[in-house]
Structure 1
Amino acid sequence: MSVVPAFPTLSQLLAWPTEHLTEAADHWEAVGGRCYGWPTRSGETR
């Protein structure tokens, strides 16, 4: 019989690093801006 791993606690989840998610969002917003001319969150306009 296999053992199901326990879920992480809330404090463990909150301690997980999330910088990579912000960096990824910034990257894809920049790609979208270059491809489609969309303004980014930083307030840039065309």
Structure 2
Amino acid sequence: MNSPTPQPEPNRARGLSRPERITLLAAALRGVLSAVIRAVLDHILNNA
């Protein structure tokens, strides 16, 4: 009778807190941005 209430996604709920998720998002965005900038610079330098 005193079993804990089941949670739908215990791993996701306890795995990442909001600050960690924001940090991961920022890191991913930084990686994407740097890749885009590098591609644009390569394009400009190759066509110059």
**Which band: TM-score by shorter chain?**
0.3 to 0.5
Report the TM-score when normalising by structure 1: 0.45
**Structure with greater proportional helix content:** 2
TM-score after normalising by structure 2: 0.43
